[in-house]
Amino acid sequence: MAKPIAEMEVERVTIEVPDTKTIRLKWPPGYDIDFKTGQFITLFWPDAPEYKRAYSLSSCALDRGFYDISVQRDGKMGTRLVDWIKPGDRLRVIPPTGRFLPVFEPGRPLLCLAGGSGVTPFRGFVREATRRGLDTSITLLYSVRTSQDIIFRHEFEQLAAANPHFVFRVTATRQPAPEPWPGRVGRIATAWIAEHLTDLPRTVFYACGSNAFVESAERILQQELGVGKEQLRTEKWG
């Protein structure tokens, strides 16, 4: 059966970093769909139905009445959304689907690797775990170009303060020398991941970002740390 397509109004647009905005799409009257944190929706403009693009939800399944997506300026759809979207605009939305889902099981830590805008689904992971009061250990290792490119920085810091089971760490790969940055520099590497492992055999690993980022993460996890394929979940964006 074909999934119902709904037209939704843009309720709010929030600038996260210079090239990324979070777009809130308000559910229309009577719209009430069950979905899971970590899934994605597919969008298209009413005037361009032939061009569709999928975006991970940056909200979680406990957020009702709206979908949040966080879009980086990239390609036709990403550029139009970031540069031109405004409250009151309308988009057509194919309901959520996908299997990049958080495993909330007792005694199973989650270790999440994110590159750039690949951090967006993990906001939903941590939101749900925190609001439900779960004791699931979630570690998010996030690679950005500079400290000015940290998407959801303040929310993740607030979640880390509220949730003793959540660890948020950032590494900057191209931090300009004159700008102060007390955090780590360089790419995500084997030793840095190993520092945050507590129970490798029971950990579920996630990697989300560009093809190159995810492929590098897969290589480190499987070839250098011996992570089993069944423990690994990936989402590649272009």
Q: Where are the domains of the chain?
A: 6-97, 110-236
For residue 3 the two structure tokens come to 């999934």
Widest distance between CA atoms in the chain: 57
Per-residue pLDDT, averaged over 129-157, amounts to 97
3-state DSSP assignment of residue 160:
helix
Q: Dihedral sign for Cα 157, 136, 55, 30, please.
A: negative
Rounded mean pLDDT, 73-90: 95
Alpha helices per DSSP H over the chain: 75-84, 120-132, 153-162, 190-195, 211-219
Q: Class of the 110-236 domain? A: alpha beta
Stretch 14-19: mean pLDDT: 96
- Is residue 78's pLDDT more than 80? yes
Residue with tokens 């950990």: 203
- Summarised one tens digit per residue, pLDDT across range 159-196 is 999 999 999 999 999 998 777 888 899 999 999 999 99
Q: Return the closest-CA partner of residue 68 out of 116, 138, 21.
A: 21
Residues 59-79, mean pLDDT to the nearest whole number: 96
pLDDT confidence bin for 25, thresholds 50/70/90: very high
Domains 6-97 and 110-236 share a fold: no
Going by CATH, does the domain composed of 6-97 fall within 2.40.30.10?
A: yes
Q: Structure tokens of 131?
A: 């609001």
- Nearest of 38, 45, 34 to residue 3 by alpha carbon: 34
pTM: 0.95
